Amino acid sequence: MLLALSNKISEIDRYSAQNLGLSLHTLMGRSGEAVAAAVRDMLKPPARIVILAGKGNNGGDGYAAACILGRDYDVTVYDVFSAGQKSEQGRAYLEKFKNGGGRVENFTADEAVIADIKSADCIIDAVFGTGYRGDPPECVRTLCRIVNESVRPLKIAIDVPMGINADNGSVDTTSAVTVSATVALSFIKPGLVSFPAKAYVGRLIYSDLGIPQDKIRESFSFSYNLVDRELAAELLPKREENGSKGSFGRLLLITGSDKYRGAAGLSLSAALRGGAGYTVFMGTEGLVRHLCQTYPEAIYEKITPIESMSAEQIERAVSLSRTASAILVGSGSGATEGLYRLVEALLNSEGGVLVLDADAINVLADRGEEGRLLLKNSRRTVVLTPHPLEFARLSGNTVSDVQLHRIEAALKFAAENKLILALKGAATVVTDGTQVYINSSGSSALSKAGSGDVLAGFTASLLALGADTLRTVALSVYLHGAAADALSTELSAFSVTPSDLPREMGRQITLCKKD
């Protein structure tokens, strides 16, 4: 699904008026209809509704909704800024509501007003929408507290809850409301499907307002995407029926260690489900002996422990990487000097796509600017799959800052270092610094040691097929989450294990193909 930034929405509104015969007045009216329909689905009349209206177009949408809801609900609109409506269209719906007998009051922090808002059956937030820019007046902070303290009513936001940045998902907790549902209009905004904002928006109800989507796609380019099942089906690489094992790439895995055998097994198990024609695993004699009994499909190369790899063995790994379509390094390897020398050699050589996970990221983070410069100057395409702590260390930020600005942080780092980043976590962000894919699948079922090893192995295997790197990483992240979701319905989020995931990820490919 395409996502649109706030400035894109403004462009689409102008285009719709000039080229599609859809005036802002018409779109505002349809917005009101969409909100009213959502209210009716959740709350039967007669009931008392309070609409909190700002002075911009979001407030105009609120007045348009009030005109419809006022027919069979008891509706009061509070003018939050005591400023009416600044647009001609908003004023038209404000006057229509008042002329029909509707009640409009200026918002104050008087006890009677507070009691009136808190006693409503439904509160509708029509204060800012996409227009929130931070640092709101004190009246908004007061209103936020009132709404959040109101435990009885249904709470619905029009387009974007107040206190939330529609584009990047950041939240001003002093002026943000947590709602039961958000009615997203025209296009869903990236911030609504990204954390931390996603925790505030409740159920997401989408209305395209009748804007012809094919016309918009023809006339506008979009940089943001929500990866759902429909898009995942589009992202699936082609697999020719007359292909051979030589047609589907060669994957090289250098993961795990004698200490972390599980990481090696999980990454290899997932890699064997990802479709690569050949899968070569490099590991210690003990690790190879352990794995080959369970995974006879792989080809094995024995090496000394990574921390003590000789120059000749590192050169052997580099040589194999030159003929591989994709290489995965780091999962459970141990953050040692030997691993750094291996990663450095791979980054300084040409060859297939290099996926760096876990300890491969950590050894670069340990070098600070030196590690980032090595990434930036890589001679091959690089994919990073860090969790927030790993990414914070690598990028020189704090974990809290990363989590508060996930989209911005990922975009900036990927662009500066010319790589593809999958910033893991709820609503994983995948970006090359220009295009952004936000994942819609997954749950706390994945919050277990080993889940990342599975994702890394499966991603590297899909990449070995040779399809578009960014889109393939986004697909793999979706399948990983979708597998966890499917398994959770059977086992619960408590009981899904990383070992359960690889086979189910393969099944999710089949389900995408059916769609």
Specify the range with the lowest mean pLDDT, choosing from 151-155, 300-304, 342-346, 388-392. Answer: 151-155
Cα maximum dimension of the chain: 86
pLDDT at 514 > cutoff 70:
no
Provide mean pLDDT across the span 110-139: 93
The CATH class of the 2-221 domain is alpha beta
Residue 81 DSSP code? T
Q: How confident is the model at residue 515 (pLDDT cuts 50, 70, 90)?
A: low
376 three-class SS: helix
| Ordered strands of the 250-254 beta sheet | 2-3, 224-227, 436-439, 429-431, 420-423, 382-384, 353-356, 326-329, 250-254, 278-283, 299-302
Tell the burial category of 297 from Cβ atoms under 10 Å away from its Cβ (0-12, 13-18, 19+): exposed
Band (pLDDT 50/70/90 cuts) for residue 119 is very high
Residue 152 has pLDDT above 80, yes or no: no
Neighbour-count burial of 26, counting CB atoms closer than 10 A to its CB (0-12 exposed, 13-18 middle, 19+ buried):
middle
% of the chain surpassing 70 pLDDT: 100
Predicted local confidence at residue 260, as pLDDT: 93
Nearest CA among 399, 511, 501 for reference residue 446: 501
Q: Which of 451, 441, 457 is nearest to 496 (CA)?
A: 451
Mind giving me the DSSP string for 460-489? HHHHTTTS-HHHHHHHHHHHHHHHHHHHHH
Q: Which two tokens stand for residue 511?
A: 């389900």
pLDDT tens for each residue of 478-496: 999 999 999 999 999 999 9
Amino acid at 47: A
Residue with tokens 């403004």: 10
Confidence label for 61 from pLDDT (cuts 50, 70 and 90): very high
pLDDT in tens, 220-247: 999 999 999 999 999 999 888 888 888 8
Task: Please report the pLDDT score of residue 196 as a whole number.
Answer: 92
State pLDDT tens for residues 263-310. 999 999 999 999 999 999 999 999 999 999 999 999 999 999 999 999
Q: Find the distance separating the first CA and the last CA of the chain, reported in whole Å.
A: 14
pLDDT of 2 over the 60 cut:
yes
Structure tokens at 405: 């600005």
Provide the mean pLDDT of the chain.
Answer: 95
Average pLDDT over residues 343-350: 98
Grade residue 135 by pLDDT with cuts at 50, 70 and 90. confident
Q: Are 431 and 411 in contact (CB under 8 A)?
A: yes
**By mean pLDDT, which of 65-69, 110-114, 246-250, 490-494 is the weakest?**
246-250
DSSP 397: -
pTM: 0.94
Across 255-269, average pLDDT:
95
Q: Is 21 exposed, middle or buried (0-12, 13-18, 19+ CB in 10 A)?
A: exposed
DSSP string, 484-514: HHHHHHHH-TTT--GGGHHHHHHHHHHHHHH
pLDDT tens digits, 422-466 = 999 999 999 999 999 999 999 999 999 999 999 999 999 999 999
Cβ count near 407 (within 10 Å) = 24
Per the CB < 8 A criterion, the answer to whether 181 and 203 are in contact is yes
CB neighbour class for 131 (10 Å; exposed up to 12, middle 13-18, buried from 19): middle
List pLDDT tens digits, range 378-406.
999 999 999 999 999 999 999 999 999 99
Q: What per-residue confidence (pLDDT) applies to 240?
A: 85
CA distance 395 to 372: 8
Task: Go through 485-514 and write b for each residue having 16 or more CB atoms within 10 A of its CB, e for each that does not.
Answer: bbbbeeeebeebebebbbebbbebbeebee
For the stretch 368-381, pLDDT in tens is 999 999 999 999 99
129 phi-psi bin (left φ>0, alpha ψ -120 to 50, beta other): left
Cα dihedral across residues 381, 386, 388, 390: positive or negative: negative
What is the pLDDT at residue 203? 97
* 323 CB-side CA count, 13 A: 9
Cβ atoms within 10 Å of 323's Cβ, excluding its own: 12
Domain locations along the chain: 2-221, 243-514
Residue (of 191, 199, 86) closest to 129 by Cα position? 191
The CATH code of the domain at 243-514 is 3.40.1190.20
